[in-house]
Chain A
Amino acid sequence: MADEALFQFLHNELIQYVYKSSEQGEMENARCITKLENMGFRVGQGLIERFTKDTARFKDELDVMKFICKDFWTSVFKKQIDNLRTNHQGIYVLQDNKFRLLSQLSAGKQYLEHAPKYLAFTCGLVRGGLANLGVKSIVTAEVSVMPACKFQVMIQKV
């Protein structure tokens, strides 16, 4: 489908744009990541508002996470999360074995150091979505082997 490619191109350009408009340097990298993350946050808020419009009310946190893994992920990335794990104390690990935004990069070690750029937006997306559903969280991502990646969601208890 065409919209798949469009989103990827837009996302790639977004990263290019954010990085090009910034100065060089170690500090700048962190700032760019934050910027991308914040963009994702706002998009996530809007998306979740639309996606949950016709769904029943969520029972609990786990219900919300399942929704993110299934419906939300399918809508955005055309596939479900492959594995969801939790310690039942507010930590969730979402594993995607073939993450779409990474699948166009080399599967080797070559671009491993660039991977964080391509994950920041998605981290924000998840955080924004959860925040709009009333779940405050911190989302981090990690990659060990290339198209696979793990998102760790830490729920902030009030």
Chain B
Amino acid sequence: MMTMLGGEPFLLVSKQEQQNYPLYIRSVPSDSELKFHYTVHTSLDVVEEKVSAVGKVIVDQRELYLGLLYPTEDYKVYGYVTNSKVKFVIVVDSSNTSLRDNEIRSMFRKLHNSFTDVMCNPFYNPGDPIQSKVFDSMVSSMMVQTC
């Protein structure tokens, strides 16, 4: 799972259905990081629910982007699940109105692209925490944009 936070993003990636351990977490304001961890882990249930509904409900949601998972008073939580069951979660401040659905979607696309590059790196062991510098800088640039 993967997350982004903050007035801006807290981001985290997680892997595999049963064991949701974080592959990468990054948040902007580090003071309330724990709270964001909590938010992100809670949101995984919603992700699970949405994914398992595929093919059952009339609204066939087969897009990888899951949209707004749920809004809380202060934050909006967005989700994305790749075909390989890696979950991306982005948390943004509710007051941040510059981020619309489309922007979030393209952020997820970027994340996914970078993640694919990480996966295809022969020195990366699937399932390990992501330590790629390229990935880091991509996330940083994305967070700067949104701040």
Residues of A within 8 A of B (CB): 42, 45-46, 48-50, 52-53, 55-60, 132-134
Q: How far is the CA of A57 from the CA of B63 in the complex (A)?
A: 6
Whether A57 contacts B54 by the Cβ 8 Å rule is: yes
Whether A49 contacts B85 by the Cβ 8 Å rule is: no
Residues of B contacting A53 with CB < 8 Å?
A: 82-83, 112-113, 116
Whether A52 contacts B84 by the Cβ 8 Å rule is: yes
Residues of B within 8 A of A (CB): 16-17, 51, 54-55, 61-64, 81-85, 112-113, 115-116, 119-120, 122, 126
Q: Which of A42, A45, A52, A60 contacts B83 (CB 8 A)?
A: A52
Q: How many A-B residue pairs have CB under 8 A?
A: 52
Residues of B contacting A55 with CB < 8 Å?
A: 83
Whether B120 contacts A49 by the Cβ 8 Å rule is: yes
Task: Tell me if B's interface is mostly helix, strand, loop or mixed.
Answer: loop
Nearest 7 interchain pairs by C-beta: A52-B83, A56-B62, A49-B119, A46-B120, A57-B62, A132-B84, A59-B55
Q: Which of B17, B54, B113 contacts A134 (CB 8 A)?
A: B17
Task: Report which residue of A46, A49, A56 has the largest number of chain B beta carbons within 10 angstroms of its beta carbon.
Answer: A49
Task: Report which residue of B54, B81, B82, B84 has the largest number of chain A beta carbons within 10 angstroms of its beta carbon.
Answer: B84
Residues of B contacting A132 with CB < 8 Å?
A: 84, 126
Residue of A nearest to B63 (CB): A56
